[in-house]
A = this chain, B = another copy of it.
C-alpha cells in the first residue's frame, strides 16, 4: 500500500496570507507596507481590534474561492500523487461558509484529487496518515504520524517540528 500524506490547505497549498495582505493593503489607511507584512505576521503587527477586523473576512462567502495557489504546490502535489496517496485535510469546520469555496477551489486547481481524498474537519488528531504537512504547530502536536511544518510567518520561530520552507523542499524530502 502507498504511504499516505495529508496536506493542509491554508498557507500550505493556498497562499491565504497573501490574500489577507491584499485585503489589508486595500483597506483604510494601512499602517504597514508590503515589505513589513512580508517580515512579520499580522498577529505581531496588528492590535487586537485591527486583527479581528481583518480576520472577519474569512466568514464571507467567496473569501476562500480566489486565493492564489502557493508557489510550486500544483507541480509537487501532482508528483507526490504518483508515489503516495494524497489527502487534503483542511480545518473548514470553523468556517461553514468556506465549504463550497474550498471544494470548488480544489476542483479547479487540483482536479486530480478525488473527492474521496478531501477531508473537512476541525481536529486533525483523528487522522492516521503517515505524513501531515501543515503550517499550524498545534495540528502537528497531536498528529500520530510524521509532521512537517510548512513555513509561514506565524510559525517561523517554532523549533519543535521538521520544517519545510517551500514546495521544493517538500519534493526534496519526499520524492
Asked if A41 is an interface residue, CB under 8 A from chain B, the answer is: no
A129 and B120 alpha carbons, distance in the complex (Å): 16
Residues of chain A in range 78-97 having any CB-CB distance to chain B below 8 Å: 87, 89, 92-94, 96
State A123–B128 Cα separation when bound (angstroms).
12
User: Is A103 part of the contact surface with B, judged by Cβ < 8 Å?
Assistant: yes
Total interface residues in chain A, CB < 8 Å = 26
| Copies of this chain, tallied across the complex | 2
Contact residue among B99, B119, B120, B123 (Cβ-Cβ distance under 8 Å from A126)? B119
Q: For A100, list chain B residues within 8 Å (CB).
A: 96, 99
Is residue A18 contacting chain B, with contact meaning CB distance below 8 A? no
In the complex, A166 has a CB within 8 A of chain B: no
Binds B, one of A43-51, A66-74, A110-118, A149-157: A110-118
Most buried by B among A4, A122, A144: A122
- 21 CB contacts below 8 A, A to B, read A89-B126, A92-B120, A93-B116, A93-B118, A93-B119, A93-B120, A94-B115, A96-B103, A99-B100, A99-B103, A115-B122, A116-B123, A117-B123, A118-B121, A118-B122, A119-B120, A119-B122, A120-B120, A121-B121, A127-B128, A128-B144
